[in-house]
Amino acid sequence: MSLLKFLSGRFSGRLAPVRERLFHYLDPATIMALTGVSRAVRSATKAEMRGTYYNIDTELAKFVSDPKAFRRAQAISNALITDLEGDFVRRFLTKEATPDKMHVFVREDQKAAIENFLLSECASRNGVVKQTTSWRHKAYNLSADGKIRQIQVHLVDSCPLASILGDSLGTIKLCFISWNKAYCLFPQDSIVKREGYLLQDPYHPMNGTVWQHQLQRLYTQGIQTLGMPWAEDDSWLTRLRRVGDKHTWIMPLDTSGVALGGIEHVPDIVIESATFQLKAVENATPTTSGPLYRYMMTPFFIFSHANLQHNYITVLDSSGYEDRVRQLSDRVNALLRISLTRLPEDQRPLCYGSFINTLQNQTIPLIYFKWLNTGMPVPGHWLYFDNDLRGELERLWQERGVPVEEWEMPGLEWYD
């Protein structure tokens, strides 16, 4: 029997336990290398990892009594577990002991499911809900196995992915977990080399000492944080990227028992088609310690319109592309005007007059609409244009000259 056939799982029976045992001893770097051997080995590795080696339910069980119910609430709320202020996701992917604190980011108008679940957990397990210094952060202290573990929920205005891309200290923090997948945008650095590059200025007076404390925490864990690579060629850091491209490590999670039924949630393609790009900067913000050579996230545009079911992120890497993105936004807004005007007056949003009469196009998120604020149902025959917008964004992406092997998204083909 060839090693390839053995790893790809073509032989079961008495050899299956041997293969399972072998996978148990592989480190994350080896697992990443295996996924690139062939499609068959990738598929077998995926199946082996998600139920045993990367069993997210085991880690969540340290926090909540019913991990699958938590993930169901996570899917309904479109919430992401992030490393913005912690390191739960990276340590989960590197198979290190996960911390006793987990950070969840969720859009303010979609928080109900995840918040209600955590309130119920606190009530049934003598937990404590603590309001932090910001009204946007709420901590749920849960007791399990004689330990107090904390889940911090952070409320955001647009979408959690935008916060991850725009507010992370460095590339090492660009990891997150959805209800069904774990993502690491720079796996070679973050997981294999255990290093990352700065995306923020830790010395800016507006940031206080938050970033500096994060640098110290990373250092104590053996993580090296760098400014820029010494090599002149940094194209592997600054190339145009998609969240779901071949450079991202996407680990599917076991979803058996997570009952979603027909519940609406963010499709994987919405997350994985989001584009981003890093650019090198020299002391972009004033510091008191001399020049700082680092990277920053190129500005991006968020489509967050009332006639879109989901938010879409696209990087504005050039003035020409930015103009075309603005035109797309104008087209969506024009369709929104038509949709609003045809509604009966008692179903129109409170901001209808100012939106229709304004000289400038505005983006009105669904949260501001009267029927959501009052609990009224969305008007019948309300039109969404997600498929049309996704098609246009895909067309613009293909016109940007990115090599096909770069923009293909194996996550959509091999991991679903």
pLDDT tens, position by position, 213-223: 888 888 888 89
> Is pLDDT of 49 > 90?
no
> Is pLDDT of 274 > 60?
yes
- The pLDDT mean for the chain works out to 80
Residue 37, pLDDT score: 63
Q: Which one-letter amino acid corresponds to residue 359?
A: L
- The band of 374, judged by pLDDT with boundaries at 50, 70 and 90, is very low
Residue 414's nearest CA partner among 176, 180, 252 is 252
User: Checking DSSP bridges between strand 181-184 and strand 195-197, what pairing results, if any?
Assistant: unpaired
In order of start, what are the domains of the chain with their CATH numbers? 1-53 (no CATH), 54-279 (3.30.460.10), 303-414 (no CATH)
The mean pLDDT value for 263-267 works out to 85
- The band of 281, judged by pLDDT with boundaries at 50, 70 and 90, is confident
- The band of 413, judged by pLDDT with boundaries at 50, 70 and 90, is very low
How many distinct helices (H) and strands (E) make up the chain?
A: 19, 16
Query: How many CA atoms does the CB half-sphere of 407 hold within 13 Å?
Result: 17
Q: What is the pLDDT of residues 175-228, one digit of tens each?
A: 999 999 999 999 989 988 899 999 988 887 776 677 788 888 888 888 998 888
Whether 313 and 161 have beta carbons less than 8 Å apart is answered as yes
Q: How many residues does the chain have?
A: 416
Which is it for the CA torsion 160, 162, 168, 170, positive or negative? positive
Rounded to an integer, what distance in angstroms lies between the CA atom of residue 254 and that of residue 249?
16
Span of 31-35, 157-161, 249-253, 335-339 with lowest mean pLDDT: 31-35
Q: What is the pLDDT of residues 123-164, one digit of tens each?
A: 887 788 887 666 677 888 887 667 888 999 999 988 899 999
Element at 155 (helix H, strand E): strand 147-156
Rounded to an integer, what distance in angstroms lies between the CA atom of residue 54 and that of residue 118?
24
Tokens of 32: 């990443």
Residue 301, pLDDT score: 92
Q: What is the pLDDT of residues 67-81, one digit of tens each?
A: 999 999 999 999 999
Distances (CA, A) of 355 to 363, 364, 388: 9, 8, 23
The mean pLDDT value for 383-401 works out to 88
- The band of 383, judged by pLDDT with boundaries at 50, 70 and 90, is confident
Task: Identify which has the larger pLDDT, 3 or 107.
Answer: 107
Rounded to an integer, what distance in angstroms lies between the CA atom of residue 321 and that of residue 66?
46
Residue 52, pLDDT score: 63
Q: What is the pLDDT of residues 16-43, one digit of tens each?
A: 666 666 666 677 777 777 666 666 666 6
How far does Cα 315 stand from its chain's mean position?
A: 15
Residue 85, pLDDT score: 84
Residue 367, pLDDT score: 42
Distances (CA, A) of 18 to 8, 48, 312, 415: 13, 12, 44, 24
Rounded to an integer, what distance in angstroms lies between the CA atom of residue 302 and that of residue 368?
17
- The band of 416, judged by pLDDT with boundaries at 50, 70 and 90, is very low
The mean pLDDT value for 56-72 works out to 94
Which is it for the CA torsion 9, 11, 13, 14, positive or negative? negative
Task: Identify which has the larger pLDDT, 145 or 362.
Answer: 145
Calculate Rg over the CA atoms of the chain: 23
